[in-house]
Amino acid sequence: MSAPNKSYDPVEVEALKPEAVERAREDALEAIAGAGDLEALHEVRIAHAGDRSPLALANREIGALPPKARADAGKRVGRARGEVNKALATRLAELEAERDERVLVEEAVDVTLPARRAPLGARHPLTTLMERIEDVFVAMGYEVAEGPEAEAEWFNFDALNIAPDHPARSEHDTFFLHAPGAGAEGAEGAADAADGPGSGVVLRTHTSPVQIRSLLDREPPVYVVCPGRVFRTDELDATHTPVFHQVELLAVDEGLTMADLRGTLDHMVGALFGADIRTRLRPNYFPFTEPSAEMDMVCYVCRGDSVGNPDRPCRTCSSEGWIELGGCGMVNPRVLTACGVDPERYSGFAFGFGIERMLMFRHNVEDMRDMVEGDVRFTRPFGTEI
Ligand code: DAH
């Protein structure tokens, strides 16, 4: 900056000559008009309106003029700067509007495009069917009870009146985990107090041992429903799987009779298959119930109409009119005694059945392998029950 003009000499200040101011103004306006984007405009602003721009420098020289000339120069420089700032603001608004418009087009979202959805998993129909059965009994006041899958032989057989030399023991195709006498320590949950010294450990072949555990854990009256996984040394094929599911039921109370068993079965079958579906009992033998029965239900599809009626065959019951469900009976007094329950005072009933089988006839599943392979094309049609 030039030194203040104290002598009032008519000093010529180059930057403030009208032509220089005019040129700076024109240069600035031309550069502003030529700025093609916001970045370029930013550079133009620094060059033509920044602290070191010709007009800013000229402004600073005003003080070097004789007082009389200052007003005129100040006016000219001020006007030029005002014009440049205004042009900058206008161009900025234009470029911003252009940018916004471009962004709107470039980043447009087509809300009509189909969304990419993460497919919802579905619970396995075995699980939902088991829970549905549990619900039927919970609604009647039963408690859900569970036991270990690795089970002491004593629970799986002995306490259920299946002694070591009992034929039923060898009929169960059992997976053995620890031989008798080897100790039950290795099997989690199986080494309970009552497993008896020398009891081997097996993968439970049925859910009936949960009856024993429930009776040992509780004082009668006992009403439990016991869902669970069971194991037998079967090859996997269309009608067998070495790992399958059962639901067991046990009621022990004063004065229970076969009529209570029958009424309970009718209620369960009604709740699962329709109110008017009845059951029937056929004599059978199980070591842990006496008397024992096989329970059937009326075919819920043909309701017996297919029997002797070749014109209307029924696939669900093979035109038998009845569907076999499982085993049942009155709890053998020897089982009550083994669990410390007085058979003179208490009686009980029990039943147990396979869930895979029920799923097969309830939903026309023809091959058990579909249930274990984990293919979502099998589970999806059952929906996403929670
Ligand atoms: N536990 C038997 C089995 O797996 C089924 C069974 C039969 C359970 C009769 C019972 C019953 O509770 O009373 O073959």
Domain segments of the chain as ranges:
10-106, 125-149+204-382
**Closest residue by Cα to residue 245 from 357, 90, 335, 77:** 357
Give me the pLDDT at residue 187, please: 44
Whether 187 contacts 177, CB under 8 Å:
yes
Whether 243 contacts 257, CB under 8 Å:
no
Identify the residue whose C-alpha is closest to ligand 1 atom 7: 327
Token pair, residue 272, equals 């699962």
* Sheet of strand 201-203: strand arrangement: 150-152, 201-203, 175-178
Atom of ligand 1 nearest to the CA of 353: 5
* Residue 184 reports pLDDT greater than 50: no
**Closest residue by Cα to residue 206 from 250, 237, 239:** 250
β-partners of residue 252 are: 222, 348
Tens of pLDDT, residue by residue over 336-382, are: 999 999 999 999 999 999 999 999 999 989 999 999 998 888 988 88
Residue 290 annotated as part of some ligand binding site: yes
Tens of pLDDT, residue by residue over 39-88, are: 999 999 999 999 999 999 888 888 888 888 888 888 999 999 999 999 99
Token pair, residue 374, equals 């984990």
Pocket of ligand 1 from Cβ distances under 6 Å: 206, 208, 248, 286, 289, 326-329, 350-352
**Closest residue by Cα to residue 160 from 112, 100, 215, 209:** 209
β-partners of residue 298 are: 322
What is the 3 state secondary structure string of 68-125? Answer: HHHHHHHHHHHHHHHHHHHHHHHHHHHHHHHHHHHHHHHCCCCCCCCCCCCCCCCCCH
Give me the pLDDT at residue 198, please: 62
| Ligand 1 centroid, distance to 208 Cα (angstroms) | 6
Tens of pLDDT, residue by residue over 226-250, are: 999 999 999 999 999 999 999 999 9
From 162, 206, 332, give the residue whose CB has the most ligand 1 atoms within 8 Å, as the site to mutate. 206
Tokens 């439990």 sit at which residue?
Answer: 224
Q: How many CB atoms lie within 10 A of CB 127?
A: 15
Tens of pLDDT, residue by residue over 164-174, are: 888 777 767 89
Whether 349 contacts 295, CB under 8 Å:
no
Give me the pLDDT at residue 186, please: 42
Is the overall model pTM greater than 0.75, yes or no? no
Atom of ligand 1 nearest to the CA of 351: 12
Q: Which CATH architecture has domain 125-149+204-382?
A: 2-Layer Sandwich (3.30)
